[in-house]
Every structure is written in C-alpha cells, then in structure tokens.
C-alpha cells in the first residue's frame, strides 16, 4: 500500500451538480453498523427523560452510558447468555427494555411510556441528537472487521493531531502526553491547546504560546527522533466565520485547527460561517465540524456537501473527532466528505491520558465510511505530512 500517495483534491469535480456526479457509492457494499448497544442506550435515555425523580433519571442514564461506552460485548450476546444483569447498573427494568429490543427490534415499554407522557416532544428532539454514534462494542467491531487493506486502520495510523495539555484545559503536561503517545506506537502528535478567544477553556495568550513552544522544543529534544511533537492550536470560529487569531498569529503555529465552540444549538443554516472558516488562510483542519454532543445538542446546521467541497478544493482536512460524546463528523457525513474528495484528520481531542484512545472511535467511523489511509493526514509519512502543513501555512 502506498501510504505516501496523498491524492490531490479533484477541484474540477466541484463544478458538477449533484445529479450529474457518478453514483459511485452504490457500487460499494455498505450498511450501517449493527449496533444493538447504541440502540439500547437510546431507549434508556428516552426512559430517563420520562422519570419524575432525579434518582431514577440518574439510574437510567448511567445504565445507558454503560451499554453505550462501557462494555465490549453486544447486549444481544449477553441476553442470549443470560448475563446482561452482570453488567454494572443494569437492573430488572433496564434488562426488560433491552430484552424487548433484541426480541422485536423496538420497545413497547418505552413506546407506551412516551405516549403516556407530556415529554414526547423533548424525547423526539433528543433522539435527533443521537444520530450515527457508535457504541464501544460497534467501534471495536469496526476496528476488527476485515475491510480492504487500503482502508485506514490502527496499523496505518501514525499520530493524533488534536489534544489539550495543561497549557489550556487539559490535565497533562506535554512530556506526559508524549510518553503516552510513544506507548501507543505513535511517531508524532500535535498539541492543540485552545487559543485566547476561548477563555472559558483556559485559552492561551500569544505570550503563553511562545513559552509553550520552548517547552515543546525541549520535549522534542528529549525524545530525540522517536516522536515529534507539533505546535498546533485550536482556534475558534467566530459567528461570521472568521477566526479569533489574526493571520500573523496563526503563522506562529505549525498548524491551525479551526473549530466551532459557539452557536451550536441554533436552527438557522450556518453554511456561510463554516465555509468562511475553511477559506481562512492558515487553516489546516476543520475541527469537530458540527460541534454536536450526544443526547445534548445538535451542533451547527449546514449544507455539509458544500462545506466539504470547499475543504477538498483547499486541501483543508475534515476532522473526525473521536471524543465519545462528539463523534464528529460521523460515518454518515464522512461518506459525503469522502465522495467530495476531502482529506481527513482522525483525532482524540483528549484532555487527559485516559482520553487518548478516543482515536479508536475516529478510526472506526472512518473505516465504516470506507476512507482509505491515503486520504488521512495522520497516516502520511513525515515528509508528505510536513509538505502538506507548509502548504497550509502559506
Ligand atoms: Zn474544540
């Protein structure tokens, strides 16, 4: 497999209309992942919304979290074995709902409870905030499934490009992030603390960034070629699509991730805002493009095909942020971005060492979407990656 072959985005294709574009997707066998765990978590979240006491809401929510993100095996297998109740926080009420789901594909218990309640609108609203997430079980299935050799995998992944340190809202020093990255088999990482426009997340002043860069230089010296730490920054996309960092300030960093951190619950179309950010000079990666949060907020609404087309024409990578609550973008949107010719960045967005394995979720979504490793900047050899970064900084 030619990992260094980074395809140039097909700019010409961007002028085609959707109707005239060849239907390449139908040629490829594709099905959404079989994920009874995420379906079960959804029903348990529905039930949580209907509870009258905080205590019972909490009970359903922690059971949902456990089946969604805490167990490696499918609830179908556990039901078949009769061992579902061994899972922490699964009691008789949650077991009945999950058993119904496995037997019938739905839950009459939940449907009746929703129909009898006044919270139906809220339940349906939240259901839309849980679209195309992967459970831990489905993530592991996707990592292990026999996809084609060319598809991105853990084995072809060289390093994580979004993480936060004590220089903003992370809890780890750069040296300990670097140590952990080596243990994960990475040869590079990018530290991307928040920029000063996000004071709530401890955003760095430019003076702090200069001090941070001296620390990164020292860490790079210490790790002597085994791992390279890149000097990234996560800049904010403002309401008008511009960034909180000036053009000169962006050049201080080796790369810029532009991410939305505001206006994430609005129903208006924000295509112009996000395309504006993609067009900003110096942007390498569009970070967690939607800004969505599981069961909590929908994130930005936009014509994503147009956003992806613009990103592809400028070789700005689209991020798959693997943070469990984000999973942004997901396998459905990633297929659209792939179709538009995008490059991708698959990152953990870790704020602690325990969150570094969130890259597995990003890789799993990318595999389900059929993204080849040569479209993923994390998989490129150092020379190709560095050339791409220097092009982005012009
Ligand atoms: Zn962010």
User: Which of 225, 227, 234 lies closest to 189, judged by CA?
Assistant: 227
Domain end marker among 131, 166, 198:
131
User: Residue 84 belongs to what H/E stretch?
Assistant: none
Question: Do residues 78 and 127 share a domain?
Answer: yes
**Unique residue bearing structure tokens 């067009």:** 279
- pLDDT tens figures, 154-213: 999 999 999 999 999 999 999 999 999 999 999 999 999 999 888 888 889 999 999 999
* Calpha distance 114→123 (Å, rounded): 8
Residue 233 lies in a domain: yes
Residue 139 lies in a domain: no
pLDDT band per the 50, 70, 90 thresholds, residue 6: very low
Q: Is the peptide bond preceding residue 227 cis, with omega within 30 degrees of 0?
A: no
In the reported structure, the alpha carbon of residue 162 is separated from the centroid of ligand 1 by a whole-number distance in angstroms of 9
- pLDDT tens figures, 267-317: 999 999 999 999 999 999 999 999 999 999 999 999 999 999 999 999 999
In the reported structure, the alpha carbon of residue 272 is separated from the centroid of ligand 1 by a whole-number distance in angstroms of 20
In the reported structure, the alpha carbon of residue 321 is separated from the centroid of ligand 1 by a whole-number distance in angstroms of 9
136-144 vs 359-369: helix crossing angle, rounded to 10: 60
ipTM (interface pTM): 0.98
91 class by beta-carbon count within 10 Å (0-12 exposed, 13-18 middle, 19+ buried)? exposed
Residue 266 lies in a domain: yes
pLDDT over 90, % of the chain: 89
DSSP alpha helix (H) spans, the chain = 36-50, 54-65, 75-81, 92-104, 108-115, 120-128, 136-144, 174-183, 206-223, 247-250, 271-279, 304-314, 331-339, 359-369, 382-392
Residue 41 lies in a domain: yes
Question: Do residues 78 and 107 share a domain?
Answer: yes
Residue 97: CATH number of its domain: 1.10.150
In the reported structure, the alpha carbon of residue 356 is separated from the centroid of ligand 1 by a whole-number distance in angstroms of 15
3-state helix, strand, coil in the chain (%, to 5): 45, 10, 40
* Calpha distance 278→307 (Å, rounded): 8
Instruction: Find the domain containing 353 and state its range.
Output: 12-28+148-392
In the reported structure, the alpha carbon of residue 276 is separated from the centroid of ligand 1 by a whole-number distance in angstroms of 18
In the reported structure, the alpha carbon of residue 264 is separated from the centroid of ligand 1 by a whole-number distance in angstroms of 12
Residue 51 lies in a domain: yes
Total number of domains in the chain: 2
């Amino acid at each position: 497999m030619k990992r260094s072959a980074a395809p140039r985005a097909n700019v010409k294709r961007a002028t085609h209309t959707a109707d005239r574009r060849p239907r390449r997707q139908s040629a490829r066998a594709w099905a959404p992942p079989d994920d009874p765990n995420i379906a079960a978590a959804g029903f348990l979240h529905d039930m949580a919304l209907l509870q009258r006491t905080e205590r019972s809401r909490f009970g359903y929510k922690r059971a949902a979290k456990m089946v969604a993100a805490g167990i490696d095996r499918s609830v179908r297998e556990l039901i078949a074995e009769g061992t579902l109740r061994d899972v922490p926080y699964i009691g008789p009420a949650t077991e009945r709902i999950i058993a119904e789901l496995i037997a019938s594909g739905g839950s009459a218990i939940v449907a009746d409870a929703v129909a009898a309640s006044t919270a139906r609108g809220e339940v349906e609203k939240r259901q839309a905030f849980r679209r195309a997430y992967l459970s831990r079980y489905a993530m592991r299935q996707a990592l292990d499934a026999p996809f084609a050799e060319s598809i991105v995998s853990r084995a072809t992944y060289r390093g994580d490009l979004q993480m936060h340190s004590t220089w903003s809202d992370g809890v780890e020093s750069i040296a300990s992030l670097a140590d952990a990255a080596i243990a994960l088999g990475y040869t590079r990482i990018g530290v991307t603390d928040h920029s000063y426009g996000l004071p709530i997340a401890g955003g760095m002043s430019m003076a702090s960034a200069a001090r941070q860069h001296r620390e990164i230089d020292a860490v790079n010296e210490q790790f002597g070629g085994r791992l390279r730490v890149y000097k990234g920054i996560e800049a904010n996309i403002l309401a008008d699509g511009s960034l909180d960092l000036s053009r000169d300030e962006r050049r201080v960093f080796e790369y810029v991730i532009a991410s939305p951190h505001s206006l994430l619950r609005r129903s208006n179309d924000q295509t112009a805002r996000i395309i504006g950010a993609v067009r900003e000079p110096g942007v390498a990666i569009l970070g967690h493009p939607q800004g969505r949060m599981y069961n909590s907020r929908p994130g930005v609404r936009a014509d994503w095909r147009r956003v992806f087309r613009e990103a592809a024409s400028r070789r700005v990578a689209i991020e798959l942020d693997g943070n469990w609550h984000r999973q942004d973008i997901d396998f459905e949107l990633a297929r659209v971005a792939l179709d538009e010719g995008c490059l991708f960045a698959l990152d953990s967005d870790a704020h602690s060492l325990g969150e570094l394995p969130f890259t597995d979720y990003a890789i799993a979504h990318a595999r389900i979407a059929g993204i080849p490793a040569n479209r993923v900047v994390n998989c490129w050899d150092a020379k190709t990656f560095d050339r791409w970064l220097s092009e982005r900084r012009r």
